[in-house]
Amino acid sequence: MARFILFDVDMTLISTLRAGRTALAGAFEDLFGLEDPIGDTRIDGRTDHAIFREIIARHSLADGDIDAVYRRVCDAYLERLPRALAEREGFVLPGVPALLDALAASHRAVGLATGNMRRGAAIKLGAFGLWERFPTGGFGDDTPVRAELVAEAIHSLAEHLGLPAHPHDAIVIGDTPLDVEAAHHAGARALGVATGRYTVDELLASGAEHALPDLGDTPAVLRILTS
């Protein structure tokens, strides 16, 4: 039985219809005049920290101080993100409110394990009335390594609840093989949801202990989380 239930954000809880990508591209255009800064940079399942720094390095923008440039990009991205969310008019993915209600009613501990930086996650989830559902989590502010933010999420949620932080008591719910990989590297289990670009079969092939088309079948999800 999972004591700590950790959710990814993008394409697991919500679809922003690429508002984050739009805001990031706009940030690089504002700061550096780049028209297509992201190009073929892989986005799905990665941390903001890794994505932003890869783009900075790819376009040779650091000039010896990548930390300072990274902070400027973060600030510009966060400034643009609310407008991008409003313009894109994304949505909460199937079953998410009902599942969160059921978990709250059964007093199950939920948190976030997301590659979004904390403020980005707050802006995104806040736009859909979901931010307050999650007391804590692990975020992509300071690490390119997703397994590290999963470990942070387990520790933070355990501390919040006054429980021992045992990774084997945690399950990560996410839509990419990188979510699955990070869960396992942190010592947790994984439930894949095929609401992103990967199918149920692909998520199972990546090692997920369980995979579902989406979170719409609340009893089925609860059976997995309580097994």
CATH code: domain of residue 41 = 1.10.150
Task: Please tell me the predicted confidence (pLDDT) of residue 182.
Answer: 97
Residue 64, pLDDT score: 78
Using DSSP, state whether 138 is helix, strand or coil.
Answer: strand
| Total residues belonging to the chain | 227
Same-domain pairing of 135 and 68: no
**DSSP at 168:** G
pLDDT at 192: 98
Residues 99 and 172 in one domain: yes
Q: Does 184 share its domain with 216? A: yes
Averaged in consecutive runs of 10 residues, what is the pLDDT profile of the chain (227 residues)? 93 98 97 94 94 95 90 97 97 98 94 98 98 97 92 96 95 98 98 98 98 98 93
In this prediction, residue 66 carries a pLDDT of 92
Q: Cα 219 from chain centroid?
A: 24
Angle between helices 118-126 and 66-88 (to 10 degrees): 10
Domain that holds residue 74: 19-88
Query: What is the tally of structural domains in the chain?
Result: 2
Question: Are residue 81 and residue 96 in the same domain, yes or no?
Answer: no
Task: Count CA atoms closer than 13 A to 81's CA, side-chain side.
Answer: 21
Q: Among 37, 66, 88, which residue terminates a domain?
A: 88
**In 3D, which of 108, 143, 127, 107 has the Cα closest to residue 13?**
127
| 96/186 Cα distance (integer angstroms) | 25
Does the predicted model carry a pTM greater than 0.75? yes
Residue pair 174/8 in contact (Cβ under 8 Å)? The answer is yes
Among candidate residues 88, 113, 130, the one where a domain is terminated? 88
Q: Are residues 96 and 31 part of one domain? A: no
As a whole number of angstroms, the distance between CA 180 and CA 93 comes to 19
